[in-house]
Amino acid sequence: MKKNSLKFVFITSVALVIIFAAILFLRKPAKAEKSERKENLNEIVLYHQDKFDPGPGSSSSVIKEAKAMPVYGHWQNFTTKDGLPSDKAYAVKIDDDRVWAGTHDGLALYENGKWRTYTSEDGLAHNGVVSIDVSETTGDVWVGTLGGLSRFSEGKFETFNQFNSGLPNDLVYNVCCYGKDVWVATGGGAGRYNTETKQWEIFTELNAPMHEPWTYALSGGEGKVWIAAWGGGVIEYNNQTKKFRDYTDPDGFMEIDLMPDDGPVHDITTATYYANGIIWVSSYFGLSRYDGKNWNGYFDHDSGLASNFINNLKAKGPIVYVCSDKGFSTFNGETWVTYKKNENDENGKAIITNGKEVKEVAQTPSISHNFIIGADADDDVVWVATSKGVSRGEVLR
């Protein structure tokens, strides 16, 4: 009798948890409930955005200004037919009037309307290029590959690996230039290379709040670096105090975000990026936004996000560029624009979502593929790395 009672209590508890989780999962987004505005989506200028401008030594000043949410079009797609070494593109980086692209078969440079390829025969650490960044202080191009880290300077490559340097691991998922330091996220932890002292510092579960050494991405700002760690959420490193702070999903529920807006939507994070006082965090289960005080989570069922399965992200000003397995999304905290390609032809659509209102704009052509792995934006142009080439879009006027 006692066993039956315990069994009944257990089953009842599990059922209540499942019902509660389902209610939260299907709940109407608070932002949509509170906002009944009906902006004219045909005019593209949709709202007034609170723009965070840190300014010299400060991150608290807020400038109110009218801000248009850009919609990109006039897409131009590049494949091996146009000079790319491979259609499998993993990364893209705008470098003034040049563009670098990381592919499965080498590093590609787009300049003066033509592509040029660099491979291991030219000194590149490995032909599989998954991350690219350019140092603002030196102009050097840093390349994260599947077989080490390379620096391209004055036309020559210098390679860092576990055998000739303090690189944590030769599998370099992401590289980030921040001041004099070059940070890397690798399969064996995060690493910081001081370009002045030429010394390496390694961070793993042994000296940082990580569950294991797998790290996927990094970004820097305001004297801090944020690390996306597998199963460890986001780890903040303060360059001045040399101390860590971790951001994880407090409810600890791995299958679903049980308590919304309490932290990152999931502890398995794929990327993080800091811009305009905002930390953006991606995962295979949704997107998170943190303004230093409040967290917000976004999912494909309650927003304009293309998919919860997010490979990467990049932020520029108030806008985040989200790379997913089912399309390319841009978002600024209020308005979403998602780009999707048709399955059977080169055309597609831009889906503009603001509150409860949704508008679709046909695009001819569209992005080259819906599986997006990398992106970068500058002024009125966006570049996107996909599994079937690289795409370039311009802001529609």
pLDDT tens track for 277-327:
999 999 999 999 999 999 999 999 999 999 999 999 999 999 999 999 999
Interval 43-51 mean pLDDT: 31
Return the higher-pLDDT residue of 48 and 197.
197
Query: pLDDT digit string (tens) for 121-139?
Result: 999 999 999 999 999 999 9
Distance (Å, whole) CA 270 – CA 252: 17
CA nearest neighbour of 332 among 368, 371, 377: 377
Look-up of token digits 């709040």: 209
Interval 202-215 mean pLDDT: 93
CA-to-CA dists, residue 395 to 74, 238, 306, angstroms: 8, 36, 20
CA-to-CA dists, residue 205 to 55, 100, 124, angstroms: 34, 33, 30
DSSP output for 14-40: HHHHHHHHHHHHTPPPHHHHH------
Query: pLDDT digit string (tens) for 159-171?
Result: 999 999 999 999 9
What is the pTM (predicted TM-score) of this model?
0.83
- pLDDT score at 367: 98
Pick the CATH number of 35-395 from 2.130.10.10, 3.40.50.300, 3.40.50.10070, 3.40.50.1000: 2.130.10.10
According to DSSP, residue 81 is labeled: G
* Residue 391 reports pLDDT greater than 50: yes
Interval 336-361 mean pLDDT: 95
Question: What token pair was written down for 116?
Answer: 């040029």
* Residue 34 reports pLDDT greater than 70: no
Question: What token pair was written down for 37?
Answer: 């505005």
Distance (Å, whole) CA 177 – CA 168: 17
* Residue 60 reports pLDDT greater than 80: no
Rg of the chain over all Cα atoms, to the nearest angstrom: 22
- pLDDT score at 259: 77
- Assign 45 a pLDDT band (cuts: 50, 70, 90): very low
In the chain, where the domains are located: 35-395
- pLDDT score at 255: 65
Averaged confidence pLDDT in the chain: 85
- Assign 254 a pLDDT band (cuts: 50, 70, 90): low
Of 19-23, 227-231, 387-391, the least confident:
19-23
